Amino acid sequence: MKGGYLARRLVSAFITIVLITVVNFVLFRAMPGSPERVILRGTPNVTQAQLQAARQRWGLDKPVFPDQFVAYIGSTAQGDLGYSFIARGRTVTEVLGQRIWPTVVLFGLGELVAIILGLALGAYTGWRRGGPVDHVGNSLSLVLYSTPYFLLGMLFLLIFATTLRWFPTFGMLTAGMQYPGLWERAVDFLAHLTLPLATVAFGLVGQYAIVMRSSIVETLSEDYVTTARAMGLREGRILRHHALPNALLPTVSLIAINLGYVVAGAITVEVVFNWPGLGTLAVEALTARDYPVLQGVFLLLGVSVVLANLVADLIYGALDPRVRT
């Protein structure tokens, strides 16, 4: 039973990843003008010979389908994502590898904090409907939901960094600093991490709280909760043992579905704080029209989101016995 569910999800994830790769390929080839001109942009007076050499180098002299396509899929599967246009001959993979972990730290921690806080807040307000915490929390969540992450980030910057001077304004570490030891380095890192982390976490908390709250409210009106009350169980036990496991289900779904959108927000937060991760990389590549890097980012983020969705599906399967059959 469980095996079937798992297998289906794996196949689905694999197909999606293949599709992402195909889209990537089509996009690159869909560029107007011959791709070579874009490659050699910035180089004045391109000669035919130079063009021909570029074409050969990038494998553009072969027919698009199947040769180029197969070559592309093949090299992607092997982890060869081509060369960055801008970064002087370094491979896209190298460039990505350098910028990935700041994003993982920021985004991962942010999601973690948001999930814990959001679910707790949502469960509490759903349980104690109508209380002052509920009303304030609801309004706050609504406003936060309407605020783009980067705007929140800029406001935090203005208030906490520029005006109050509690935190630094940009980057991951203070530029040009020499650290006497690991501790100092860690402290500086954390100081730089705080505001962007707070931005990501605040942006997400509201959504998670709202969904958890409505989920708990709905669950508490279900018949099995009435049965639990009729049994004389304590409210705390009913909430924890009966309501929560059921209420988590739509919340897990939401967190998964949301990941695609959160990526957008994370990119912009990095830009605001000049956090050297994939987000700033994407914007830099965009400005410089460094398409291989852009595609690499798309592939990487796309695959990550698909995998995260897969994990969420597995968690959902673990929580809800009804989907396992």
Partner 1 sequence: MTAAQLQGTAPRGVRVGAGAWDLLKRLLRRPEGLIGLTILATFTVLSLVPQLIAGPLQTAVTATGGRLEPPSGVHYFGTDELGRDMLNLTVHGARISLVIGLLATLVTVFIGVVVGIVAGFVGGWLDALLMRITDFFLVIPTFVLALILTPIIRDLVGSGATEVFGIRMTLIVIVIVIGITSWSSTARIIRSQTLSLRERAFVDRARVIGAGNGHIMRRHILPNVINLIVANAVLTFAGAVLTETTLSFVGLGDPFQPSWGQLLEAARSSGAPGLGAWWYVLPPGAGIVLVVLAFTLVGSALDDLLNPKRRGRG
Partner 2 sequence: MTTGPRMTTGPVDARGRALPRQADPSQPLLVVENLRTHFSLDGDTVRAVDGVSFTLQQGEALGIAGESGCGKTTTALSLVRLLPSNARIVEGSIRYFGIDLVQKSDEALRRYRWREISIVFQGAMNALNPVHRLRDQIVEPLRERLDLSPVAARKKAGDLLELVGIPRKRGSAYPHELSGGMRQRAMIAMALACDPAIVIGDEPTTALDVMVQAQILELLERLRRELGLSLVLITHDLSVIAETCDRVLIMYAGRVAEEGRVSEVFRAPRHPYTQKLLGAFPNIQADRRTLEVIPGSPPDLRHPPPGCRFAPRCPAAMAVCTEVVPPEVTFGGVRVACHLYPLGSDGEPVIVGSLARPVGAGDARSTATAEPVSR
Q: List contacts with partner 2 (CB under 8 A).
A: 222-224, 226-234, 237, 241-242, 245-246, 319-322, 325
Count of H-run helices and E-run strands, the chain: 13, 0
- Which CB, 143 or 186, lies closer to partner 1? 143
Task: Give the burial string for 125-150 (b: 16+ CB within 10 Å, else e).
Answer: bbbeeeeeebeebeeebeebeeeebb
- Measure the CA–CA gap between 13 and 41, rounded to whole angstroms: 37
Which of partner 2, partner 1, none is residue 319 near (CB under 5 to 8 Å by kind)? partner 2
Tokens of 111: 């999601």
List helix spans (H) across 176-290. 182-220, 223-230, 235-237, 244-273, 278-287
Which of partner 1, partner 2, none is residue 58 near (CB under 5 to 8 Å by kind)? none
Which of partner 2, partner 1, none is residue 147 near (CB under 5 to 8 Å by kind)? partner 1
Q: Least distance from C-beta 136 to partner 1, angstroms?
A: 16
Kindly report whether the peptide bond that precedes residue 132 is cis, defined as omega within 30 degrees of 0. no
Which of partner 2, partner 1, none is residue 64 near (CB under 5 to 8 Å by kind)? none
Which of partner 1, partner 2, none is residue 223 near (CB under 5 to 8 Å by kind)? partner 2
**Which residues lie near partner 1 (CB under 8 A)?**
16, 19-20, 23, 27, 30-33, 142-143, 145-148, 150-151, 154-155, 157-158, 161-163, 169-170, 218, 221, 249-250, 253, 257, 259-261, 263-265, 267-268, 271-272, 282-283, 286-287, 289, 291, 294-295, 297-298, 301-302, 305-306, 309
**Torsion, Cα of 268, 272, 278, 279 (10° steps):** 20
* Rg (alpha carbons) of the chain, rounded to whole number: 24
